[in-house]
Structure 1
């Protein structure tokens, strides 16, 4: 009972800056994310059946994953573009553009993107668990769980959004991961597109999930005076969750590198 009371008080403290209008905006954004997943899931099936003759030959599990990767790709493109805009093109996080600490800066767009991402991760995690392990193993459950945990905290508190957006930009590698699966399922592993996509995935992962995370930790270190002002749960989450995600990225990068080398070797021998 005491633990529940502590959690309740903690959540009230985290969302203490929220107004009824903000809370409604957050809920609508999450709802939009869920509806987006449903619409794109259905559209993926319809469009694929119209333009890809092999779709009808897929079994039930393959069609499930095919459509699931459709809304996964769509979400990745949306959040990657929005994150890039907020981090670089807009002045939201410019060092000298505002008096407010970088760690505390938010905007209507950033709140919306975080809400949509929560809706996506909820939808995808629900499908992963319901169809487990067809759509992914425990590593995906861990990844989605940690992602939602961090995003929800940032949305409710209005803190650390710059770091959440950096991590969300790493979703830019997802379309290449999904295209690799699509080509494999369609029997196109020997095509030039498969090889070029493998190269794009390798380079994209290196930039968005390895080098960007190095910059992430560098930015935290150089702005640690601000990081220390984040509420306690958020502060300790910043110190623990990103390193776990970084280790997972390194592990997956090692597998991607091995797969790409194997693809190049096969392509060379087939000539």
Structure 2
């Protein structure tokens, strides 16, 4: 097939090795410009959907929740921001769950390809969509820093972007990225707690139930799942070692850092739940 001049130029650009010191990797499928366009489209869709959901959250909340109209201008910004973070969490978690557990992409017996090197159009789109979200959210966090989140949020989003972009471009380690993306399933509970607090519903039964659900959800999705994650990596370490150097060291370094952050936040969640339960018991 004869490529146009622009297509040849695009293919040449994305085929350039990406380097960091002595650690390099080459972009997969670089000879196919449509692959690069698919990646860009998925990232762009993530950004666009964040904007759409942000706007719709403001419009619907103003019509449906009295508390929204009583918020400060920044309070409305954070309310809307949590709207699109909830949307991303639901999309990313459901897509990751399907890909890892239900689809044939990462089924051990479905292919002779190493598990660490398997990809699909849906997994690429999921990673691209999440890159768009993390770019959008990180931009807002930095713009309003530190009101929307402190250094821990910048670190979390920075590490996430660093890892997801590598996995998308290299086509390696996607099964592990998707496992971590599934942990976003806890985000709706975190956001609901913030919504209820700012709506004056901190003493409601729903607030208590959500706090308990957040505690157990976090325990399963961000503590137990990470234990399984590290066990899976150890079991398939021969495959993990075959990843290009930068990706290999990223797999060794980033998940433990995220795990430490998850344990720290879990400690805060546990303290908050105990405090809420004690208060609810005394109010009876």
- How does the TM-score come out when normalised to structure 2? 0.92
Q: Assess, with a 3 A threshold, how the Cα gap between structure 1 residues 192 and 5 changes in structure 2: closer, same or farther.
A: closer
Aligned to 1:228, which of 241, 266, 270?
A: 241
SS at match of 1:216: helix
For residues 51 and 126 of structure 1, the distance between their equivalents in structure 2, rounded to whole angstroms, comes to: 28
Q: Does 1:33 align with 2:46?
A: yes
Contact in 2 for aligned 1:14/1:231 (Cα 8 Å): no
Q: Assess, with a 3 A threshold, how the Cα gap between structure 1 residues 9 and 33 changes in structure 2: closer, same or farther.
A: farther
**Match in the other structure for 1:15:** 27
Q: Assess, with a 3 A threshold, how the Cα gap between structure 1 residues 169 and 59 changes in structure 2: closer, same or farther.
A: same
Contact in 2 for aligned 1:95/1:102 (Cα 8 Å): yes
Q: CA deviation at 1:96?
A: 1.1
Aligned to 1:200, which of 195, 213, 231?
A: 213
Q: Does 1:249 align with 2:262?
A: yes
**Match in the other structure for 1:156:** 169
Alignment of 1:107-186 (within 5 A): 107-186=120-199
**Match in the other structure for 2:203:** 190
**Match in the other structure for 1:91:** 104
Aligned length: 267
Contact in 1 for aligned 2:219/2:266 (Cα 8 Å): yes
Q: Assess, with a 3 A threshold, how the Cα gap between structure 1 residues 39 and 138 changes in structure 2: closer, same or farther.
A: same
Contact in 2 for aligned 1:14/1:153 (Cα 8 Å): no
Q: CA deviation at 1:245?
A: 0.1
For residues 34 and 22 of structure 2, the distance between their equivalents in structure 1, rounded to whole angstroms, comes to: 21
Kindly provide the CA deviation profile for residues 87-139 of structure 1, in whole angstroms up to 9, marking residues without a partner as x.
Answer: 11111111111010000000000000000000000000000000111110000
Contact in 2 for aligned 1:83/1:168 (Cα 8 Å): yes
**Match in the other structure for 2:252:** 239
Contact in 1 for aligned 2:28/2:171 (Cα 8 Å): no
For residues 254 and 5 of structure 1, the distance between their equivalents in structure 2, rounded to whole angstroms, comes to: 39
- Structure 1 stretches of 4+ with a deviation exceeding 4 A read 8-11
**Match in the other structure for 1:24:** 37
Kindly provide the CA deviation profile for residues 178-210 of structure 1, in whole angstroms up to 9, marking residues without a partner as x.
Answer: 000000011100000000000110010000000
Unmatched tracts of structure 1, length 5 or more? none
